[in-house]
Amino acid sequence: MTSTFPNVSISTERLVLRPLDEDDVPALAEMMNDELVGAWTDVPQPFTEEGARTWITEYAPAERAAGRGLDLAVTEFLTQRLVGVIQLTRTNWHVRSTELSYIIAPWARGEGYASEAALATAQWLFGDQDFERIELRTAADNTASQQVAQKIGCISEGVLRNACIAHVRAEDGTWTDVRTDFIVWSLLPEDLDGVSDELADTGGFTSFPNWN
């Protein structure tokens, strides 16, 4: 029997992580059309509202039902505004491991939402789902995403050479693929010891523009 993630809602001091729904279509489409999302992810460009609806109503439910992963909307607690997406992929239920990635909307960067959402997801995975390993992969030049990984306690395990395809926009508006390295990070349950205290000591989650 295939294991699956529950349709969960995770709350932090400022955020609510919940399943994507069709009301998120316009904001999700706008977020995914951002220049940095186009550069560092494989999200199709341009990204249409039809594409957003397909993601929400077909792709995300299918991934969860098959046990491969989970897609969560990241929303502000006070405004309910969509500010990002957390995605779990390549889930191995025998090993109890999964790969985590995050995208933060351009209108919400600089607030530390990526690290807050990623840490909350990790705490839920280790505490409620009995996972033993979370993996992150960041493009070699994506320093903001690397800062998020470091901030939540991840350990750099090495480099997958030439394993990542980033994207550069040409003068005519088209995108060109550029090969680069992946930095591989891991997070184990014991790596979270003291992370919340360290964040409190440094003023919380604020600081840099985050995306992956």
Q: Determine phi and psi for 206, rounding to 5 degrees.
A: -70, 155
Whether 165 shows a pLDDT value over 90: the answer reads: yes
Q: What is the mean pLDDT of the chain?
A: 91
Of residues 139 and 211, more confidently modeled:
139
Whether 206 shows a pLDDT value over 90: the answer reads: no
Whether 199 shows a pLDDT value over 80: the answer reads: no
Antiparallel, parallel or unpaired: β 97-104 and 133-139: parallel
> What pLDDT, on a 0 to 100 scale, did the predictor assign at position 12?
96
> What pLDDT, on a 0 to 100 scale, did the predictor assign at position 172?
84
> What pLDDT, on a 0 to 100 scale, did the predictor assign at position 205?
43
**Mean pLDDT value across residues 75-97:** 97
DSSP run (H or E) holding 120: helix 113-127
Q: Determine phi and psi for 41, rounding to 5 degrees.
A: -130, 175
**Mean pLDDT value across residues 7-30:** 97
- On whether the CB atoms of residues 166 and 40 are closer than 8 A, the answer is yes
| Residue 24, CA distances (Å) to 27, 70, 98 in order | 6, 16, 25
**Mean pLDDT value across residues 66-90:** 97
pTM of the model: 0.90
Residues 6+ apart with CB under 8 A from 16: 9, 10, 75, 76, 77, 80
